[in-house]
Amino acid sequence: MIFDFCGRQWSPLFEGSSGSRARRSLSFEKRIPHGKALERLLMILLVLLTVFGAEGAFAGEDAKNLTKSCTFSVSPSSGKRHTSWKNFTDGAYTTWWESDAGDPAFVEIKSAEPVYGLYLCFHSIPEGYVIQTREPGGEWIDLETGNPVFAHAFFEIPGAAELRVLSTQVGTPQLMGLNELFVFGSGMIPAWVQRWKPTEEKADILFAMCHPDDELIFLGGAIPTYDVEKGKRVVVSYLTYADKVRRSEALNGLWTMGVRNYPDFGPFEDGYSTKLETAYRKVDEAHGEEKVLEWAVELLRKYQPEVVVTHDLNGEYGHGQHKMTADALTKAWEVSGNPDFLSETAGKYGAWQPKKMYVHLFGPKEDRTQLNWDIPLEAFEGKTGIELAVEAYKMHRTQMSLTIEVGGVRKALSVKGTGKIFSNVSFGLYGTTVGPDVLHTDFLENIE
């Protein structure tokens, strides 16, 4: 079964392996170790399963969720709404606890049963933090250093009774905020617990979108098809994560589709407009276009994608930030290969021009690449890419009631409905260094 990151059940989903690349994670969930002997046994089984495959191996009990039986103490909190640790144990990611910006931030956990797993879903991620343990009344000992990039993070714990999450951020503010926190005992870690890998260093395809959920509505089944089924190196990027709840929704949706490499979140704030010029001014009154172009060029150089796919130049239904994302990416495609342009990032990552760039709904229909997201995917036991996108969209809880105006009529946003009006299977080849497409059925046509 698949769950949102608060542990609520949603719908069945086979968490499978494409079998085409060694990097793809196995379909079973990793058991938390009970000791060295079990750890060695698990390592042997992991090797055997990697070679032979065995869906459903490690049949056993799920790890017990100890969260409700734990005792928590937290550093001082500011404000009125986000002062209680109960906000990160209530099963609702729209509520959170946040520390006072002026004090060292920590969360202490005491459990009557040994703890083998800790899952943190951050609202505010400290610039640095550690997971610590101690014997009752003893000194705190560092177990693991947290990655300040990951908003959702899982840690294996060696059977501890007391834990602490401590900010190691230097200077002020000493800030930490949690949407949700889960404590697990021994057993199988549930499939909804996210264990992210770093973002791909080198991408076959970069899907460069504006907001969380745009990658579902306007790309349809592209991400599970290319990332999981075809086993390609995929980077999903967003101009803005909009807000911290939507950042979590983005992670929940991607995880549902089998994505295991962390996405790239841009630095910009969300803001609606209908005009491209207004969208740039909202970034910076005088230098908005320069700042967004700099971001786009760095994105291409950092991940060096063979192919880039982005929004409609007209912003699909006219969203100014969609227009801005497409405008910046198409301009970046032209200049990112020039080492003299923004030489600082060229020196850091190297100059790089992707071989191909696709823009949603670009050009005459007869010249566009038309994708098929209704093909059953072996990696998901026959589910199609579009079905997976629909399931992932259910994780975007705050967007469920939103509508857009199309032809003077308000219509609900949805993967199938909106994706049909603004076809999520139709993309134009904006630029290429490897020649024109002939088949028009694959983003990676002509790419070795």
Identity at 291, one-letter amino acid code: K
| 420 and 271 belong to one structural domain | yes
| 248 and 378 belong to one structural domain | yes
Residue 259: alpha-carbon gap to chain centroid = 8
> What is the structure's pLDDT at 19?
33
Residue range 186-215: mean pLDDT, rounded: 97
> What is the structure's pLDDT at 34?
39
Residue range 219-247: mean pLDDT, rounded: 98
DSSP H/E element including 405: strand 403-406
| 150 and 284 belong to one structural domain | no
CATH classification at residue 129: 2.60.120.260
Return all residues near 164 (Cβ < 8 A) that are at least 6 apart: 106, 107, 108, 109, 131, 132, 133, 134, 140
Residues in the chain: 448
pLDDT digits (tens, 9 = 90+) for 45-62: 443 433 333 333 233 588
| 219 and 178 belong to one structural domain | no
Quick check: is 316 in a domain? yes
Residue 33: pLDDT band (50, 70, 90) is: very low
DSSP tag of 290: H
Residue 26: pLDDT band (50, 70, 90) is: very low
- On average, the pLDDT of the chain sits at 88
| 156 and 217 belong to one structural domain | no
pLDDT digits (tens, 9 = 90+) for 274-289: 999 999 999 999 999 9
> What is the structure's pLDDT at 59?
36
Residue range 227-247: mean pLDDT, rounded: 98
| 404 and 305 belong to one structural domain | yes
- Total number of domains constituting the chain: 2
> Is the dihedral angle over the CA atoms 243, 9, 114, 69 positive or is it negative?
positive
Residue 78: pLDDT band (50, 70, 90) is: confident
> What is the structure's pLDDT at 60?
58
| 168 and 216 belong to one structural domain | no
With 60 as the cut, is the pLDDT of residue 348 above it?
A: yes
Exposed, middle or buried by CB within 10 Å (0-12, 13-18, 19+), for 98? buried
Quick check: is 21 in a domain? no
- What's the per-residue H, E or C state across 355-401? CEEEEECCCCHHHCEECCCCCECHHHCCCEHHHHHHHHHCCCHHHCC
Calculate the CA dihedral of residues 255, 266, 151, 22 and round it to 10 degrees.
40
Measure the CA–CA gap between 358 and 192, rounded to whole angstroms.
Answer: 33
pLDDT digits (tens, 9 = 90+) for 162-185: 999 999 987 767 789 999 999 999
In contact, 18 and 180? CB cutoff 8 Å? no
| 179 and 213 belong to one structural domain | no
| 292 and 427 belong to one structural domain | yes
Quick check: is 19 in a domain? no
Residue 12: pLDDT band (50, 70, 90) is: very low
Structural domain boundaries, residue 283 = 205-432
**Start-to-end Cα distance in the chain:** 37
Quick check: is 106 in a domain? yes
Quick check: is 40 in a domain? no
Quick check: is 416 in a domain? yes
Quick check: is 18 in a domain? no
Identity at 296, one-letter amino acid code: A
Q: Which of 134, 154, 184 is the last residue of a domain?
A: 184
Quick check: is 41 in a domain? no
CATH classification at residue 297: 3.40.50.10320
> What is the structure's pLDDT at 52?
35
Residue 103: pLDDT band (50, 70, 90) is: confident
List residues bridging with 62 in a β-sheet. 188
| 179 and 210 belong to one structural domain | no
> What is the structure's pLDDT at 172?
65
Measure the CA–CA gap between 353 and 296, rounded to whole angstroms.
Answer: 12
| 169 and 285 belong to one structural domain | no
